[in-house]
Amino acid sequence: MIDQFAGKTAVLTGAGSGFGLECARVGARLGMNLVLVDVQQDALDAAAAELAANGAAVLARRVDVASAAQMEQLAQEVRERFGAPHLVFNNAGVGAGGLVWENSVRDWEWVLGVNLMGVVHGVRLFTPMMLAAARQDPAWRGHIVNTASMAGLLAPPNMGVYNVSKHAVVALSETLYQDLSLVTTQVGASVLCPYFVPTGIDQSERNRPQALAEEAPTRSQCINQATVAHAVAGGKVSAAEVAQLVFDGVAAGRFYLFSHPQALGAVRTRMEDVLQRRNPTDAFAERPELGAQLRAALAG
């Protein structure tokens, strides 16, 4: 829980667009120092210029969050420039899908590298710094927010590699919350589970590694990309609204952050499947026409 943000430091990955950029804008308005991290240099440069022009102290670094060495270098630079960060937003993410058996080893390495290991590195590097600062000052407060997805609480078809990465982030975040509660009351944790929000994640192909870019997508992967792009484009909740939700959640010490709480009905159904030991409910039970369309498309 952080009730006063002015003069404090935020580390934000995926800060060149989407939730990361919008949270950086909120942080700038609140008077925070900003560490902006992104793999896309032009987007990072634009974000840094905008936020510096608005008066924020900015440290911008191009970092592949999947790289342990690059993240370790980032953590060292943050410590030297600002000291322990008060807010860490492990947000960088990529989207990918298709029938789960059609994802290549490189697909798995890329998606899990960014979506999961990026969060792992943020947690393992910044949490000890935050705990050390808390031990030195009883008034010090910090918070870690990890971006998962509603796909981390559900298992929609044709999205396997993404689902796995986001389920792992939810489990990591829940464990982080419990582990922190064993050792401190000064550092908290949250998990952000957005639904379809226009952020640019449906354009993740722009940052695919070269080796992956040379692999021809399968039919199911093309269908997934088109489906997600359509759903994201139709999103009614903006990234800016989600950013405000994140800051409100941090200030309130709230763990689960949902952009679309109305989608929790599907989570309840999944949990009831588990508790009643029944087979997973058809993901298209309420919209059978969509299931028919997907099956027909996959059949070619």
Q: Identity (one letter) of the amino acid at 205?
A: E
Name the burial class of residue 101, with classes exposed (0-12), middle (13-18) and buried (19+) by CB atoms within 10 angstroms of its CB: exposed
162 as an active site residue: the answer is yes
* Catalytic residue, candidates 162, 177, 195, 256: 162
In the numeric block, the tokens 């590298």 are attached to 113
- Sequential DSSP letters for the chain: --S--TT-EEEEESTTSHHHHHHHHHHHHTT-EEEEEES-HHHHHHHHHHHHHTT--EEEEE--TT-HHHHHHHHHHHHHHHSS-SEEEE-------B-GGG--HHHHHHHHIIIIIHHHHHHHHHHHHHHHHHHH-TT--EEEEEE--GGGT---TTBHHHHHHHHHHHHHHHHHHHHHHHH-SSEEEEEEE--S--SSGGGGGGG--HHHHTSPPPHHHHHHHHHHHHHHHT--S-HHHHHHHHHHHHHHT-SEEES-GGGHHHHHHHHHHHHTT-PPPPTTSS-HHHHHHHHHHHH-
Q: Which of 9, 221, 200 is nearest to 106 (CA)?
A: 221
Q: Other CB atoms closer than 10 Å to residue 116's CB: what's the count?
A: 22
Residues with a known catalytic role? 162
